[in-house]
Amino acid sequence: MTYLDHAATTPMRPEALAAYAAVLADTGNASSLHASGRRARRIVEESRETLAGVLGARPSDVVFTGGGTEGDNLALKGLYWARRRAEPTRRRVLVSAVEHRAVLDTVQWLGAEQGAEVELLDVDAAGMVHPDTLAAALERDPAAVALVSVMWANSEVGTVEPVAELAAVAHRHGVPFHTDAVQAFGQIPVAVGEGGPDAITVSAHKIGGPVGVGALVVRRGLVLEPLTHGGGQERDIRSGTLNTAGVAAFAAAAATACAQAPREGARLAALRDDLVRRVQEKVPGAVLNGAALGGAPGDPQRLPGNAHLTFPGCEGDSLLMLLDARGIECSTGSACSAGVARPSHVLLAMGAGEEHARGSLRFSLGHSSRAADVDALVEAIGPVVERASRAGALAGMTGA
């Protein structure tokens, strides 16, 4: 198989597998006081220190979670509830229109069930939120804003947001800023930093760690209401027995990914650029979505491993299945609900029409990607697009 869906999940790194297996073979609950428990606790705390180091945070700022979705829910619900408890007039929640469903569905629930006034921030044609857009939204009634959330890098089109500038705008109005950095972490520099985000969501399986573990980095002094209650683990913010093996593997993957990121980013960007160029040579009508390729060194506008393309006249689902039949795995830019394909909300928010949004595919590269993967895609893409185009034309003629 040719795997081009690293943005969905990426293979575990050898360092993470080794750490995972070593801890799984042991026994111990990190909350227990006996020797096995203390041994597990030491592994957890050393892993916390490792993650804090690569994220520019204090170890006490790192709250382990079950993954990115839980981290986003904890950040958004926890912040909203805490802010409302302190100041009942703070009902406004500002998020970008291109967020992952883990954010959008959470704030929509807050709106439907908890009285939040959810406002979606507009993006430009590349999927970027401009600081002026956020400033204008905040200035309408800053005293009523509970929180702002804008993802660090878009999970579909790979556009990197100006997180530092957006956080600065929110802070000028006394509003906490959260970012979903699940896609960005391990690919580009992600850190709390002075004046940076107040809360950052990260996940292990996007960087070569295991599924089922993540972290929410919470700046000291920021109050969150917990989602779960019980044993009081993780500073009473996230109760539950810690996944010691997953935490250890997460830390090992993070250390490797972040250390290799500058070199690996350059390698993946070169592979990505080659993929886009050669695919567009085979299919001249293919359109690149998101930010332009390239960008200043150390300040990319697009994730190095992301190539998101629309093939006019084709259905993304058809393209995906035809490529899958040839042994090439990627993802479609649309989300499916109850078996009904829907155009990507990200592309629609960027100003694309429904037909354009339906005909998109995301090819994402990762640490195991090689030039042979690009070669395989380039060899297959022409015949696949031709067949999908014929099927689309036939469906149009028959009204199907």
Residue 339: the pLDDT is 46
Average pLDDT over residues 346-363: 95
Whole-model pTM: value is 0.94
Question: What is the mean predicted confidence (pLDDT) over 209-214?
Answer: 98
- Within a 10 A sphere around the Cβ of 353, how many other Cβ atoms? 10
The helix (run of H) or strand (run of E) holding residue 115 is none
Comparing 133-137, 193-197, 208-212, the range with the smallest average pLDDT is 193-197
Q: Are 305 and 5 in contact (CB under 8 A)?
A: no
Q: Which CATH fold would you assign to the domain 2-7+261-398?
A: Aspartate Aminotransferase, domain 1 (3.90.1150)
User: Are the beta carbons of 298 and 265 closer than 8 angstroms?
Assistant: no
Give the CA-trace dihedral at 67, 70, 75, 76, to 10 degrees: 140
Report the alpha-carbon distance of residue 218 to residue 73 in Å, rounded.
Answer: 13
14 pLDDT exceeds 70? yes
Strands (DSSP E) contained in 49-192 are 62-65, 92-96, 117-121, 145-149, 177-180
Using pLDDT thresholds of 50, 70 and 90, give the confidence band for residue 399: low
Domain spans in the chain, listed from the N-terminal domain onward: 2-7+261-398, 14-255
φ, ψ for residue 62 (rounded to 5)?
-90, 120
Residue type present at position 38? R
- At residue 390, the pLDDT reads 87
Query: Percent of the chain, pLDDT > 90?
Result: 88
Q: Which tokens sit at 173? A: 């109005």
pLDDT 10s digits, 56-112: 999 999 999 999 999 999 999 999 999 999 999 999 999 999 999 999 999 999 999
Rounded mean pLDDT, 330-353 = 76
| Mean pLDDT in residue range 288-294 | 90
Position 397 confidence tier, pLDDT thresholds 50, 70, 90: very low
- Tell me the catalytic residues: 336
Which sign, positive or negative, has the C-alpha torsion 265, 266, 270, 273? positive
Model confidence at 392, in pLDDT bands (50, 70, 90)?
Answer: low
DSSP 265-285: HHHHHHHHHHHHHHHHHHSTT
| Amino acid symbol at 248 | A
CATH number of 14-255: 3.40.640.10
Alpha-carbon distance of 82 to 85, in angstroms, equals 5
pLDDT tens digit string along 114-165?
Answer: 999 999 999 999 999 999 999 999 999 999 999 999 999 999 999 999 999 9
Report the pLDDT value the prediction gives residue 338, as an integer from 0 to 100: 35
Q: Which residue has the tokens 């926890």?
A: 78
Residue 334 has pLDDT above 50, yes or no: no
Spacing of C-alpha 191 from chain mean position: 15
Structure tokens, 391: 């099927």
Residue 212 has a CB neighbour count (10 Å cut-off) of 15
